[in-house]
Amino acid sequence: MPFAVMDYELAEPVQVALMSLVKNSDTGYLGNVPELAQALSFFANQRWDWQIDPSIIKIAPDVGVGVIEICRLILKPGDKILINTPVYYNFYNWIKELHCEVVDAPLAENELRYTLDFPAIAKAYASGVKVHILCNPHNPVGALFTKSELAELADLAKQYGVRIMSDEIHAPLVYKENTFTPFLSASESAREVGFAFLSATKAFNIAGLKCAQIIAQSDQNLATLGRLPLAVHSRASLFGAIASAAAYQDGTSWLDAVIDELDSSRKFLKELISKSGIAIEYRMPEASYFGWLDLRKFELQGEIASKFISEGKIAIAPGNFYGPSGSGFIRINFATSKEITQDAVERIVKVLR
């Protein structure tokens, strides 16, 4: 249950595109794939009313590589990078690879509703932070930030000379009652200070195919994009680029069906927890497919993941992986069958009892 992949079959347009490559023995290096940029531009316009010039879209092997390579162009070792925990644990690894210092402004939490803590962010920016890696939508807590929140964040970053790296890998997986705002579409200030990192890999379940996209929409940041090493593109995958193009262009019907299924699954998880009769707290996510389960009332100590493996035969992601503010939580993945989800909850409850 801890991993960010789905138990669903690939979208038919993605399967067809991949099989065509194999059938034609086209398994070589990645060259120019203009159809990917065009498809992403189409998808962003249709899904989020966000206009992207296809000519400025860059390709990287994955979001992490993209963030690291952009940061290498604007940072030096020892510089400060801000994150908002509890957050995707690989942010720590990216910062370590850059030989930079982690600064944390934890999300504010009110009954499991998470928001940006602007006073804490302003204090961090004033301490000399150079880059802020933003998770939008937020993993693991499933929160979305509003256009006004993102615009306020952008103004603050502009005031302090901070660049914002917006990891938007879960953006396509937003539930229908909610609205995703791409960071770069939030305001003119956001375009001045921000880079966006997108990928079809999570929403269309093709993470192993290695392809992400980097976008900037200001002259200064476009100049930075132009300085990326050519290998950032060529180290991505031909299979990933072609599959992503097919997903963005022709996979929206499949994606809508998946979101409907995930919507049913997040509600089913809430129902199971409610019926369990024990003190697990859970707020349904606004995006993606993670159950962020609050077990703080149980005051679990030590290696929580080991406890669940040994006593319940279930793998979970312990909340402390996502930073100190995640302690007492676990993250599970409900992008699977209801039978597996029910089995997982029963195992969790068994351990807690």
Q: What are the tens digits of pLDDT across the range 194-216?
A: 999 999 999 999 999 999 999 99
**DSSP 3-state of 7:** coil
Give the confidence band of 301 by pLDDT, cuts at 50, 70, 90.
confident
Topology of domain 12-251, CATH = Aspartate Aminotransferase; domain 2 (3.40.640)
205 φ/ψ angles, rounded to the nearest 5 degrees = 65, 45
Side-by-side strand order, sheet with 80-83:
58-60, 212-215, 194-198, 163-167, 129-135, 80-83, 101-104
Give the confidence band of 159 by pLDDT, cuts at 50, 70, 90.
very high
Name the helix (H) or strand (E) containing 91: helix 90-97
Q: What is the DSSP letter of 319?
A: G
Q: Where in the chain is the domain with CATH 3.90.1150.10?
A: 253-352
Q: Are strands 108-110 and 101-104 parallel, antiparallel or unpaired?
A: unpaired
Average pLDDT over residues 249-256: 98
CB burial of 305-328 (b: ≥16 within 10 Å; e: otherwise) equals bebbeeebebebbbbbbbbebbbb
This prediction has a pTM of 0.97
Give the Å distances, CA to CA, from 287 to 262, 297, 334. Answer: 10, 25, 12
As a whole number of angstroms, the distance between CA 51 and CA 43 comes to: 10
Q: Say if residue 302's pLDDT is above 90.
A: no
Q: Where in the chain is the domain with CATH 3.40.640.10?
A: 12-251
Residue 242, pLDDT score: 98
Residue 1, pLDDT score: 95
Cα of first residue to Cα of last residue in the chain, in angstroms, is 20
pLDDT tens readout for residues 39-57 = 999 999 999 999 999 999 9
Superfamily name with CATH number, domain 253-352: Aspartate Aminotransferase, domain 1 (3.90.1150.10)
